[in-house]
Amino acid sequence: MARAQFNRDDIIDKSIELFWQKGFSASSMQQVVKTTGLKPGSIYLAFGNKEGLFREALERYARKSVTHIRKMLDTAPSFGEGICTFLEERIEDSTRENYCSCFLVKTRLELAAEGGELHEYASAKLDEIEELFQSYLEKEFDPTVSRQRAVSIMLHIFGLRVYGYQQHSADRMRQGLREGLPWLPWA
């Protein structure tokens, strides 16, 4: 059997952009072919189907997100300062032209009505991020408080990711975060 003559990560990255912009359901196989430059047979051989490629796109996006969060929190003077910096990044992202929200959040919202494996997969990846925040919080707080604060952080991230579509000002979003997360060391 012939080996794939393409860089798998490049194909997944190109697919992330397509799926992120259009969603799973609105991305046709023809669009996947055009975006990746692969023939349909190569896509099916390498990924099984569009769903398999989408799943790998979600995995890669989630892995990059977790790596970024870890790096940000590990290099910050404290968890609180790290999460404030992370949230500030989300504000800046959400006010950019052509803002596209979070691929995991968008997937969860898009597929919520039908449920299914991809919805569960995106939800599980978001749960992993929440657990990551909780693990860092547990270095400073008891497990119950850590869990509650991790949930609160996730709710605020979801809010920023969706609220950004409204093109609200960055200052208004910052004020909302400070009000909703008063225990963080805001600058």
Domain ranges of the chain: 8-180
pLDDT at 39 over 60: yes
131-141: average pLDDT:
97
Single pTM value for the model: 0.89
Which of 38-42, 94-98, 162-166 holds the top average pLDDT?
Answer: 38-42
Average pLDDT of every residue of the chain? 91
Mean pLDDT confidence for 76-95: 93
129 in Cβ contact with 69 (< 8 Å): yes
Q: CA-to-CA distance for 134 and 154, rounded, in angstroms? A: 10
Is the pLDDT assigned to residue 165 strictly greater than 80? no
SS3 168: coil
Written in H, E and C, the secondary structure of 91-106 is: HHHHCCCCCCCCHHHH
Under the banding of pLDDT at 50, 70 and 90, the label for residue 62 is: very high
pLDDT of residue 1: 45
What was the pLDDT predicted at 95? 82
| Residues in contact with 8: Cβ distance below 8 Å, sequence separation at least 6, in sequence order | 46
Q: Is the pLDDT of residue 68 over 70?
A: yes
Token couple for 154: 């996730």
The stretch 58-70 carries a mean pLDDT of 96
pLDDT band of residue 15 (cuts 50, 70, 90) is very high
In terms of pLDDT, which residue wins out, 23 or 164?
Answer: 23
What percentage of the chain has pLDDT greater than the value 70? 95
pLDDT exceeds cutoff 80 at 126: yes
Amino acid in position 107: T
How many of the other CB atoms lie within 10 Å of CB of 114?
A: 9
The pLDDT score that the predictor gives to residue 167 is 58
Long-range contacts of 65-73 (CB under 8 A, 24+ apart): 65/104, 65/129, 66/128, 66/129, 66/132, 69/129, 69/132, 69/133, 70/132, 73/136
Identify the architecture of domain 8-180 in CATH.
Orthogonal Bundle (1.10)
